[in-house]
Structure 1
């Protein structure tokens, strides 16, 4: 079949849904494997329009922010797309975040309504009582729907939605420790989806498996927006399951999937009911798998391809770029292990400290420009001006080299972010949590290489003289403050931490000291 034109089919998410509801109303858009429910494009349009009527009854209008703290499910997807369809702004909450961050995001995002699964309601209510305004909390079943406190209005939110309208407010870790709210417009989101579609040569016949959480930019822009803009379809289970993964792929005729290296590692060690040659044959409809959010070790990359017979395409993106900026080309075109690929739908360059473009194979900061690049950081003009140049170039904060064929190799970070299992973690967040413990006088968190997660969090502390505090006590303290993902794997006790002239902990020297002590 002739590849699609890699131009968004319309200029807003609402217009895309309306167009495909008219052109291919009976074609399946999404399958929910746990319930065997499905939505075709016509049903999708009717569903998001019905949600828009409820939004209007709640007093919502275009530009209002709606938050979600839910696992994946039919209602989760419907509410996410209905928010965009209505011209409102979606601001997902990560259930794995600590209580402090949930409170901060709810306050900073100006959220009006929060849809929450029953198991997360207490977390949201604890956060809501700290706010200066009242928000509406609606308990929601991820498959059966929301417990609406109102009846739907006769009409949904009618304001026109155009490309420049904000659609998504995603919070990502920054070097200051406070998460920054990335503002993505309809144009940004559609461009992110089209960049994925172009890189992976997607057509309406392709179907993806979405096992990453909908509070993650990868799920939103890669496995939701890419099928939506290319007229394809997806399978959306509640969460990743290593035992069910291949069953979903085979049963629902999945042609591609997007995962992170951690999931690839899990799959390498658990084949499910089928194995060996039988599994390879059953997977013959799968064109490729996509890996992103963290560097994929070449040995894991090659081992997976050999074991399952499925090519893995390594890619790279940021929340600030609507998920994708680089990808290896589709097989049989050349791929390079250890590289996230070449630019698709974007312009890239590598610059030195003076802003000059570096020649091939010379290290510098990776810059990107294109329709996928964010509008800015919400209520943070200083951070926006630091990240975005006046001509639209975005500072990624990644050190990289670009070879003569255009392939990028990431060599490090200008910023101190730790990337664990695809999640950005600012060391400062860990430090601040530990400093709030009455026995801690110095704290320094670092990222160390980890075969499973890409990086793991390690923290080092100095405690008050004569204080009695155990590693377990501090780990439990961090868990309460930070949540599971950001809690350090281990905490080590030091008499003093290496610091520079300004008193700032020098994390590179701290890593060296950990190596000397044979801790890492």
Structure 2
């Protein structure tokens, strides 16, 4: 298959898997399992699993539930479902029993590919009468597969459900390929590259950026079971990685860790990529100063098969504090009437392109509300762009703190808290307040042994933001709650933080 920078990938995922297999060469390695697989082997496994699903009665475009942690089995299950023309339904393994049970029921899946470590949980949350776990090791000849077209359903991934029931995001064969393509063209990925994946494959970043990016670019991918701050740089050395994709909390933990890349690894790494939430400026600059590895800040959503914006690679202009410019899709800042605003004015970021989702499964109302009449996806993110087309995210519409009628973006407070060298994680949020309607509070996690106090941080906030935006209270936790991508979940802090859970020094 031919890759072009100005045109999204043509064909289907099956076409691209076939093309990679016919070209040959290594595909993926799994350092935690001490295994590796090349493209011909990966296609053979995908074909066998696709044939198994077909033989067991899975219908064209039907959901196939995948309950797999990162590893070779997860990749084989994913590619098997995609190759066979099914809707790979990636189940978030840390979402909790209720959310997992809901996703399995709502997806309509009748068959599942379940890792042995997940069997007990799978049996707790579902009925064997409605969904059956299949044995992936059963070998099946590749014949009689369903036909596959670019517009067919390919992926179902559920949102975090912070504002109600999770919504099932549906991507097609073509939009999933486009997700790997936007990453490839933004970062100039090629067959010479090796990505290091430490994010879960059941999250859009790990799946689209790392896995689909390697398929479209033809490069290799090293997939770790999970992120480990103490092992990360050694894994980058062992796998000879040239790039990695992580989230801001991981960057902060690496910055405050005791390990660093060796000179050879540092020289080989072309860039690290940050996504899923805004990267605090202080963390960004401190990371690059310490490790001499450029961090490319980006922005993406589950609904856009990950990336929509990215900073260019060095030596082109990177703007710290900005997730960059649009690659492979169009992006605008719109006012309340959904008309584009001029540079410098704040509004909602909207997106249109080949990587945008098809729909929310069985939720036409949510689908309708998420698109403008002329087909732009509403991201729910507030921001502005400058005259050169670089975007700046200022907050989430649903996360704004409205204190005394004034809008306060939690990110403003986060940035100040991260400015203290002892702060590893930080998040501001709102509480109801009889006087102002809402008040500002925040939570932080700090380096072990730190003598930092809430008074110290509140004074820092007053000095930089003024008393009005300063948190009324700052909680100290060992770790802030996060979603599967490592993104801090502000909405959970209100329920989590009770006086007996504090660790206020």
Change (3 A) 1:52 1:29: same
State the 1:4 CA deviation.
6.1
2:253 aligned with 1:294: no
SS of the residue corresponding to residue 111 of structure 1 reads coil
Q: Contact (CA 8 Å) 2:246, 2:274: kept in 1 or not?
A: yes
Task: Compute the TM-score of the two structures, normalised by the length of structure 2.
Answer: 0.79
Q: Contact (CA 8 Å) 1:294, 1:454: kept in 2 or not?
A: no
State the 1:68 CA deviation.
2.0
Aligned twin of 2:206: 219
Among 71, 74, 77, the alignment partner of 1:76 is 74
State the 1:242 CA deviation.
1.5
Q: Contact (CA 8 Å) 2:236, 2:265: kept in 1 or not?
A: no
Aligned twin of 1:491: 497
CA distance in 2, matches of 1:453, 1:292: 16
State the 1:301 CA deviation.
0.5
2:121 aligned with 1:123: yes
CA distance in 1, matches of 2:498, 2:273: 36
Aligned twin of 1:20: 20
Aligned twin of 1:90: 88
2:208 aligned with 1:210: no
State the 1:302 CA deviation.
0.8
Q: Contact (CA 8 Å) 1:258, 1:292: kept in 2 or not?
A: yes
Residue correspondence of structure 1 range 388-467 to structure 2 within 5 A: 388-416=371-399, 449=414, 451=418, 452-453=424-425, 455=427
State the 1:92 CA deviation.
1.3
2:159 aligned with 1:172: yes
Aligned twin of 2:228: 241
CA distance in 1, matches of 2:162, 2:255: 34
CA distance in 2, matches of 1:389, 1:156: 43
Residue correspondence of structure 1 range 95-494 to structure 2 within 5 A: 95-129=93-127, 134-138=130-134, 146=135, 151-156=138-143, 158-174=145-161, 176-272=163-259, 275=260, 279-416=262-399, 449=414, 451=418, 452-453=424-425, 455=427, 488=493, 490-492=496-498
State the 1:354 CA deviation.
1.6
Q: Contact (CA 8 Å) 2:9, 2:174: kept in 1 or not?
A: no
| Deviation per residue, 1:225-270 (Å, 9 max, x gap) | 0111011110011111112211121122111000001111111122
CA distance in 1, matches of 2:162, 2:229: 34
SS of the residue corresponding to residue 497 of structure 2 reads strand
| Deviation per residue, 1:116-157 (Å, 9 max, x gap) | 33343232222214x9x510024xxxxxxx465xx5443345
State the 1:390 CA deviation.
3.8
Q: Contact (CA 8 Å) 1:10, 1:16: kept in 2 or not?
A: no
Q: Contact (CA 8 Å) 1:298, 1:338: kept in 2 or not?
A: yes
Q: Contact (CA 8 Å) 2:184, 2:217: kept in 1 or not?
A: yes
Structure 1: state its 5+ residue gaps: 139-145, 419-445, 462-474, 494-518
Change (3 A) 1:390 1:161: farther
State the 1:453 CA deviation.
4.6
State the 1:43 CA deviation.
1.4
Change (3 A) 1:460 1:123: farther
| Deviation per residue, 1:267-322 (Å, 9 max, x gap) | 112243xx4xx724432111000000011011110111111111000000000000
State the 1:205 CA deviation.
0.6
SS of the residue corresponding to residue 325 of structure 1 reads strand
Change (3 A) 1:135 1:88: same
Structure 2: state its 5+ residue gaps: 402-409, 419-423, 434-476
Q: Contact (CA 8 Å) 1:55, 1:156: kept in 2 or not?
A: no
Deviates further, 110-119 or 93-102: 110-119
State the 1:69 CA deviation.
2.1
| Structure with more relative contact order (C-alpha pairs < 8 Å, separation 6 or more) | 1
Change (3 A) 1:252 1:189: same
CA distance in 1, matches of 2:91, 2:17: 25
Q: Contact (CA 8 Å) 1:67, 1:91: kept in 2 or not?
A: yes
SS of the residue corresponding to residue 306 of structure 2 reads coil
CA distance in 2, matches of 1:156, 1:96: 36
Task: Compute the TM-score of the two structures, normalised by the length of structure 1.
Answer: 0.77
